[in-house]
């Protein structure tokens, strides 16, 4: 396979109504002449027509690489499946439901030149007030307990240097803590404001119950992990010469 500069990793669960437009928006955001990328669409056990639509899109566009999971394992593990398949030194993530705008990808990749991970901030978030308030509370609580500096962890639009994602611990819920874990491991973080749009097709997979309580429970485990885990081992590359 030809090498690529950027792997775009997108988990999806029952997002058939958005996939065609999503791929088209990515194509328009990253003109062929300037960008060499692959789009890894991780089908997280969808029960709608997503599988068939992905196969058709992949036939039309060689940059599109679908991965199908045989059952629904959740957004975090779908991300990990995509990270493991990614071929490029830069990994960009976003949601499949068109709430993130692919037109933001170039500014994320540019910002990554000076750091190891770029996290988007949904400056004008298009969700219900309950979701906005619960996210703000969750981010504030987590920052206080873990001591990280991530403003909007729930914004999937992020860019990473791939070497930081090679050994991420695969656990359900990871995506709500990944930038915090990497920052604690020494990764340099930058944040940029990004667009956010209302969901047009399908339904949100999260409510208060499966985000807030789970997130709080996960905080306990992640606090431990943060102290003990290292994203990269401090190997002296000159020492073996």
Position 139 contacts ligand UDP (CB under 6 A): no
Q: Which is nearer to Mg ion, 171 or 206 (CB)?
A: 206
DSSP string, 159-215: EEEGGGGTT----TTGGGTHHHHHHHTT--EEEEEE------SS--S--HIIIIIHH
Cα angle: 203, vertex 207, 213; to 5 degrees: 155
Contact (CB, 8 A) for 171 and 72: no
Only segment of 8-16, 51-59, 138-146, 187-195 that touches ligand UDP (CB under 6 A): 8-16
Binding residues for ligand UDP, rule CB under 6 A, total 16
Q: CB count, 10 Å around CB of 26? A: 22
Position 99 contacts ligand UDP (CB under 6 A): yes
Position 44 contacts ligand UDP (CB under 6 A): yes
Position 205 contacts ligand UDP (CB under 6 A): yes
Q: If you search the block for the tokens 């792997």, which residue do you land on?
A: 7
Tokens of 232: 């990269």
Position 99 contacts Mg ion (CB under 5 A): yes
Position 204 contacts ligand UDP (CB under 6 A): yes
Partner in contact with 35, chosen from ligand UDP, Mg ion, none, beta carbon below 5 to 8 Å by kind: none
Position 141 contacts ligand UDP (CB under 6 A): no
Partner in contact with 13, chosen from ligand UDP, Mg ion, none, beta carbon below 5 to 8 Å by kind: ligand UDP
Contact (CB, 8 A) for 38 and 118: no
State the DSSP code for 33.
T
Interface contacts to Mg ion, rule CB under 5 A = 95, 97, 99
Residue numbers at the binding site for ligand UDP (CB under 6 A): 11-13, 15, 44, 72, 74-75, 78, 95-97, 99, 204-206
């Amino acid at each position: 396979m030809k090498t690529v500069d950027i792997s775009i990793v997108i988990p999806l669960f029952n997002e058939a109504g958005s996939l065609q437009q999503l791929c088209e928006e990515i194509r328009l955001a990253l003109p062929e002449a300037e960008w060499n990328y692959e789009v890894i669409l991780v089908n997280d056990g969808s029960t709608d027509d997503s599988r068939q639509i992905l196969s058709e899109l992949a036939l039309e566009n060689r940059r599109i690489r679908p991965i199908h999971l045989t059952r629904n394992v959740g957004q975090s593990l779908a991300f990990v499946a995509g990270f493991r398949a990614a071929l490029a030194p830069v990994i960009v993530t976003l949601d499949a439901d068109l709430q993130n705008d692919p037109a933001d990808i170039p500014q994320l990749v540019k910002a990554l030149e000076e750091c190891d991970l770029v996290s988007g901030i949904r400056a004008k978030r298009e969700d219900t007030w309950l979701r906005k308030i619960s996210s703000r509370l969750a981010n504030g609580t987590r920052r206080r307990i873990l001591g990280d500096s991530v403003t909007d962890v729930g914004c999937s639009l992020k860019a990473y240097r791939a070497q930081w994602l090679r050994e991420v611990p695969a656990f359900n819920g990871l995506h709500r803590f990944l930038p915090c874990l990497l920052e604690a491991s020494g990764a340099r973080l930058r944040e940029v404001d990004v667009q956010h749009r209302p969901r047009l097709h399908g339904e949100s997979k999260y409510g208060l119950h499966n985000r807030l309580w789970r997130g709080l429970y996960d905080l306990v485990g992640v606090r431990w992990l943060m102290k003990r885990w290292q994203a990269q081992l401090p190997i002296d590359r000159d020492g073996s010469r």
